[in-house]
Structure 1
Amino acid sequence: MKAVQLFGHRLDLLRAITQPIPEPKGNEVLVHLRATSLNYRDFALATGRYQTHLPLPFVPLSDGAGVVVAAGPQVREWRPGDRVIGHYTTAWQNGRFDERYHQSKLGGPLDGLLQEFRVLPETALVKTPEHLSDREAATLPVAALTAWNALQDLALPTGAWLLVQGSGSVSLFALQFARAQGLQVIATTTSENKMAILRELGAHEVLLTRDRPEWGKQVYQSADDRGVDGVVDVGGNVTLAQSLAALRGGGAIAMVGFLGGFDAAPDLTLPMLVKRARLLGQSVGSREHFQMMNRAISAQQIRPVIDRTFAFHEYRNAWEHVGSGSAVGKTVIDMAA
């Protein structure tokens, strides 16, 4: 079968390989992967921006969807022909997060899903929503579940104000979920070309923040001049100060990304205290969360936003596209193309 492995921290060290199709044993399931998708994490891993200590080589990509083709003798939940999606943090089934779960993540340190076939424990899969294609389903494991859990943790009431940042996949999923929950959403972007899609997805207001370093005040004023109740922050150190400026007293920030890197953030102690703000770190979600999210996606008939789809042999182009920052939504690799 065809696959890709990452041999170092440059994109030219992503290399196509051929390896045998594995056989499922015990409670394992063999999945024929039909589509995978990229997250910023995958670009950061491949370019040495994140977790450079992970053992190499490994098969990248945490997101993928396909069909069960074989199952071990102890499998009870799946049978051949079932459409499934991989669960990113395989050991996190339910309940409270444990730091040890980081070692069970697909696409580093465990081999990921940029391969034609993958054997996984039966508990590392969830059912694909019936209305979604495999390409659409492949976008859900990291970005959608991160956005879903961020909103669950923020626990905002109907009619509350939410700020989302940019047009990356986490922000777009957060916008879609928020509108389905009856929230009022303010979206920011640095590109005039991306304002239309944010409005189409239901943002009440879209603010162009290019050349406006103090955009938090503008967001605050747009939310009835009282500030937003919650923020889904994707930038980390480069956006947290403005997220706080946009927040109303007693509000909360779900910190989901690190687009700004890992340098020290500005001193946030005083604004955190003054606003009695809460900062909620996110680490995607459990399998139980994933199943809950998929039920909501099915009930609301939500469809992911796909920016571009690449053929398998164009995998490096897919990484470059994610790294360009130009994508609006998810970047997908069609394993059959």
Structure 2
Amino acid sequence: MRAMTVRAPAGLENLKLEDRADPGQPGPGQIRVAVQGSSLNFHDLGVVLGKMPSDDGRIPLADGAGVVEAVGEGVREFAVGDHVVSCFFPDWQDGTPTIGDFRRTPGDGIDGFAQDVVVLPATAFTQSPRGYDAVEAATITTAGLTAWRALVVDGKLKAGDTVLLLGTGGVSIWALQIAKAMRARVAITSSSNEKLERAKALGADFTLNYREQADWGAQVAEWSGGGVDHVVEVGGPGTLAQSIEAVRVGGHISLIGVLTGGAGEVPTAALMSKQARLQGLIVGSRREQQDFVRALEATGIKPVIDRRFGIEQLGEAFAYEMSAGHFGKIGVAW
């Protein structure tokens, strides 16, 4: 079978399409899945570029969706022909977070989904949302579930709340769609006026070009009448001060990204005065993904796919991700 691997030293030029042995039939508790789609994340790019070291020959991509080809003894949740989607933390089934690293995350600590077929425990998957193709389904594993947990699970989003989103990448656009489905009001930033117009078409209520408006935090606070209820903070240290400026007293900031770096100053006095809850998070549990799937089926939300690439074009797909020209998710199809 085909598998895309990252050979040492890591880099786009060392992504190699190789032949690997077929994994065979599933054992007890396992399912065999024909992988049909994936999507790219910042985490995947870090692995491929060597910024998140992994084994030589690692098969990348944390997101994977496809069709069940066979089920092992004892599997009751899935049947042959079911459409399924992977879990970012296959060992975190339910409850509060217990995992703080990526040793068992596909495409990082273990092989991911840039391959034709996988045989894995049935508990490493959920059903795909009805009506989704494989690429659309794959976008929920990392980006979609992150946005869902930030706003709904941890943030307890309710109708009428105000939300600030940074940028127009996969997590932020998923968050925009979730927030609007929940009847929230949304502000969103970008350096591209064209992307801001696309965000408006998806329902964004207030848009700011952060290159043109350096004090965007204060402007969001003014727009929302004293500060937003929720901030989905994907930038990290370079944007956190503005996010704290934008949030209301007693509001909630979900810290989920490090696009501007992995360390930096935190304006502690400003955070204290806002009495805001600053919460780090990494994706979510299998149970939360199942809840998210039910919500998607109830609301009819479909993910925004900017472009689709073939698995043999994975290097080109990552190069496109690095250009930061995308809006929403970048898909990979078999």
- TM-score of the pair, normalised by structure 1: 0.95
Matched residue of 1:236: which SS?
coil
Moved over 4 A (4+): none
Are 2:88 and 1:92 aligned?
no
1:32 is the counterpart of 2:26: no
Which residues in structure 2 correspond to 1:1-337 (within 5 Å)?
Answer: 1-7=1-7, 8-23=9-24, 24-49=26-51, 51-52=52-53, 54-99=54-99, 102-152=102-152, 153-224=154-225, 226-262=226-262, 264-335=263-334
* TM-superposition CA deviations, 1:3-22 (whole Å, max 9, x none): 11112321111111101211
Deviation at 1:286, TM superposition (A): 0.5
Code of the residue aligned with 2:318 in structure 1: it is W
Deviation sequence 1:310-335 (CA, Å, 0-9, x none): 11211100010111111101111111
- Higher deviation after alignment, 92-101 or 233-242: 92-101
Separation of aligned partners in 2, 1:99 and 1:33:
26
SS at match of 2:103: helix
User: Per the alignment, in what secondary structure is the counterpart of residue 63 of structure 1?
Assistant: coil
Q: CA deviation at 1:217?
A: 0.9
Counterpart amino acid of residue 325 in structure 1: A
Conserved 8 A contact 1:30-1:120:
yes
SS at match of 1:321: helix
CA distance in 1 between partners of 2:162 and 2:73 (Å): 50
2:186 alignment partner, SS class = strand
Query: Residues 269-318 of structure 1, C-alpha deviation per residue, up to 9 Å, x if partnerless?
Result: 11111111110111100000000000000000000000000112111000
Report the alpha carbon displacement of residue 196 of structure 1 after superposing the two structures with TM. Answer: 1.7
For this pair of structures, how many residues does the alignment match?
331
What SS does structure 1 have at the residue aligned with 2:313?
A: helix
1:46 deviation in Å?
A: 1.4
Instruction: Describe the superposition over 1:157-193 as per-residue Cα deviations: whole angstroms up to 9, x where unpaired.
Output: 3211110111101000101111111111111111011
Alpha-carbon separation, structure 1, partners of 2:331 and 2:94: 28
TM-superposed deviation, 1:213:
2.7
Alpha-carbon deviation of 1:100?
6.0
CA separation of 1:79 and 1:157: change in aligned 2, threshold 3 A: closer
1:56-90 Cα deviation digits (max 9, x unpaired): 32110011110000122232221211111111110
Instruction: Provide the C-alpha distance between the structure 2 equivalents of 1:195 and 1:155, rounded to a whole number of angstroms.
Output: 26
Structure 1 stretch displaced more, 92-101 or 243-252: 92-101
- TM-score, reference length from structure 2: 0.96
Shift of 1:26: 1.4
What are structure 1's unaligned runs of at least 5 residues?
A: none
Structure 2 residues without counterparts, runs of 5 or longer = none
Residue 187 of structure 2 aligns with an amino acid whose one-letter code is I
1:101 deviates by: 6.5
Alpha-carbon distance in 2 for matches of 1:124, 1:149 = 18
User: How far apart, in 1, do the equivalents of 2:79 and 2:47 lie?
Assistant: 34
Deviation at 1:138, TM superposition (A): 1.5
The answer as to whether partners of 2:240 and 2:266 remain within 8 angstroms in 1 is no
- State the alpha-carbon separation in 2 of the partners of residues 128 and 157 from structure 1: 25
Q: Deviations over 1:145-166 (max 9, x none)?
A: 0000001211133211110111
For 2:103 and 2:66, the matched residues in 1 are separated by 24
